[in-house]
Amino acid sequence: MRTKFRWFVLLLTAAALILPVIAATPVMADPLSDAIAAVPQGTGPGQIDPAAPAGIFNIPGAPSPGLVFCFCWAIWVGWIFSTVGAFGGVMAGVGHISIYGMGPYAKTFKDTSPALNKMLTDSIRVSNQWLVGLSALVSSITYGRQKRLVTSLGAFLGAGALFATFLVVFTTAGKVRFSQYQGWFGLCVFLIFAFMVYEMSPKGQASKKAAKAAAKAFENTVKNKGNIEGQGVQTLKWSLSKTEISFFGQQFSFSPLWAFIGGFCISALASFIGVGGGFLYVPFLTSVVGLPMFVVAGTSAVAVLIGMIFSIFNFMVLKGVVVFWPMIGIELLGVFVGSMIGPRTGKYIPEKVLKWIFLLLAFYIGIRYTLRGFFGIAML
C-alpha cells in the first residue's frame, strides 16, 4: 500500500509540474509561425521546400527523429543523470543537437532567417531542460528514500538557482545564435573535465579522506547486502552559518550561504546552455563541500529540479519558447524509465568508476562541441 501511495504522489507531482506549462503554452506560437512563413522557399540550405515531408514543428524538410529511437535515447539520458547526478541535460543536448539533427538544421537559417535560427536554438535549450527536470524529480524521490541526499543543501543550491534563471532567461532568450550556443556548451563541459582531472590527482585527493572512508563503507554495506538507509544522511546540526551532516560514520559540513551563491553561479551558466547544471553541481559538491559521490547524485538532483521548474516556466510561459510535444512526450516516458533504473543500479558501481564515467563523457563532449561551435571543426 505504501509503495502504491508513493507512486501516486510521484505521478501527481509530475502532473502538477507539467500540465500548467502545457496549458499555458500555445501549440504554435505566432512568432514561430511568422518566422517559418518568412523563410525563402526552395531546396537549398536555409530554405524550406513545401513539397518535403513535414518534420519537427510540422516544418517541411525539418528533421523527423523516430519516436522509438527518441524513447531509447531518453532512457540513457535518465539513467546517466540519475546515476552520477550529471550529464542528463548534456546528453539530452547531444541527442537534440546532433543525433536528431536539430542543431545543424537550425544552423542553416543563420543567414536566411536569423529569427528562426534563434527560436529553434531556444527550443533545444528548453527541450533539454524538460528531460533533465523529470529525471531530477524521479531521482530526488528515489534517493530520498535511500537517505542518499542532503535535502537542505540541495534546497539552498536550488534557491540560488531561482534568481539565476530569471536573469538568464530575460537576457538571452531569442538572442543566442546556434553556433554561439554550441561553442559555449562544449567549452563549459571541457573546463569541468579539466577541473575533475585535477581533483582526482594525489594533490586533489589529499583532503578527501572523509569522503573516501564514507564511500568505502557504503560500498561494503551494499556488497554485504546491508541496510544502507540506517547509515544514510542525517542532519546533526543546522544553522544559516554552518550545517553538519553524517553519512556512513563520517561527518561533513557546509555553509548554506555559500551553497546559495554556488547555486546562483552554477544555474546562471546552466540555464544559458540549456542544461540542468548537474555537471557543475557534481564538482562543487565533491570538491567544495567534500561529499562522496553516493550522496552527490541525489543532492544534485534536488538542486537541478528546483532550477528546471522555474527555468522552463520562464522560457515557455513568460518568453513564449515552444517545444515539439510529440517528441518531448515520448522522451519524458523514456527519461522516467531510465531515472527509475539509475539509483537502483548506481549503488553497485564503485565510486571511482562513477567518476571515470563523468570524466570520459566530459572530455569527449567538451572537445567535440567546442571545436564545432567556435572553429567549425567536426569530429565523430
Residue 112 has pLDDT above 50, yes or no: yes
Q: Cα–Cα distance between 75 and 134 in angstroms, integer?
A: 12
CA distance 349 to 214: 15
47 inside domain: no
Which H or E run contains 252?
strand 250-254
**Above pLDDT 90, what percent of the chain?**
28
Instruction: Give the pLDDT of residue 74.
Output: 95
Q: What pLDDT score does 27 carry?
A: 45
Q: Which domain holds residue 367?
A: 66-375
Residue 278 belongs to some domain of the structure: yes
Mean pLDDT score, 49-59: 92
Give residue 89's pLDDT.
81
pLDDT at residue 51 is higher than 70: yes
| 28 pLDDT higher than 50 | no
Query: What percent of the chain stands above pLDDT 70?
Result: 85
Task: State whether residue 150 is helix, strand or coil.
Answer: coil
Asked if residue 4 belongs to a domain, the reply is: no
- What does the pLDDT read at residue 19? 47
Q: Would you say residue 332 has pLDDT above 60?
A: yes
**pLDDT-derived band of residue 341, with 50, 70 and 90 as boundaries?**
very high
Residue 60 lies in a domain: no
Q: Do 196 and 283 touch, CB atoms closer than 8 A?
A: yes
**Residue 128: inside a domain, yes or no?**
yes
| pLDDT reported for residue 108 | 92
pLDDT at residue number 343: 87
pLDDT in the model for residue 306? 87
Q: Which is nearest to 279 in space by CA: 269, 292, 291?
A: 269
Residue 178 in this model has a pLDDT that exceeds 50: yes
Residue 20, pLDDT > 80, answer no
Cβ within 8 Å of residue 239, ≥6 positions away: 256
Higher pLDDT, 295 or 1: 295
Residue 210 and residue 252 in contact, taking contact as beta carbons nearer than 8 Å: yes
pLDDT of 349 above 70:
yes
Q: What is the pLDDT of residue 206?
A: 60
Average pLDDT, the chain: 82
Minimal CA–CA distance to 150: which of 302, 308, 349? Answer: 302
pLDDT at 380: 60
With respect to residue 272, please indicate whether it lies within any of the assigned structural domains: yes
pLDDT for residue 2 is more than 60: no
pLDDT at 54: 92
- Rounded to 10°, the helix 178-199/351-370 angle is 150
CB count within 10 Å of CB 3 equals: 7
30-44, 244-258, 354-368: lowest mean pLDDT where? 354-368
Closest to 215 measured CA to CA, from 105, 350, 333, 335: 350
Of 201-215, 232-246, 360-374, give the lowest mean pLDDT range: 201-215
Residue 205's pLDDT is 63
Q: Categorize the per-residue pLDDT at 26 as very low, low, confident or very high, splitting at 50, 70 and 90.
A: very low
Q: What is the pTM of this model?
A: 0.79
All three cell numbers of 64 = 523527423
Predicted confidence at residue 70, as pLDDT, reads 94
d(CA 166, CA 317): 12
Confidence check: pLDDT of 44 > 60: yes
Q: Does any domain span residue 279?
A: yes
C-alpha–C-alpha distance, residues 5 and 184, integer Å: 43
In a domain, 2, yes or no: no
Q: Which residue has the higher pLDDT, 309 or 206?
A: 309
List the grid coordinates of 164. 539565476
Write the CB contacts of 308 (distance below 8 Å, at least 6 apart in sequence): 129, 130, 132, 133, 136, 276
pLDDT, residue 324, reads 93
Q: pLDDT tens across 89-99, in order? A: 878 988 998 89
Number of compact structural domains in the chain:
1
**Block residue for cell numbers 531509447:** 72
Instruction: For residues 294-313, give the mean pLDDT.
Output: 88
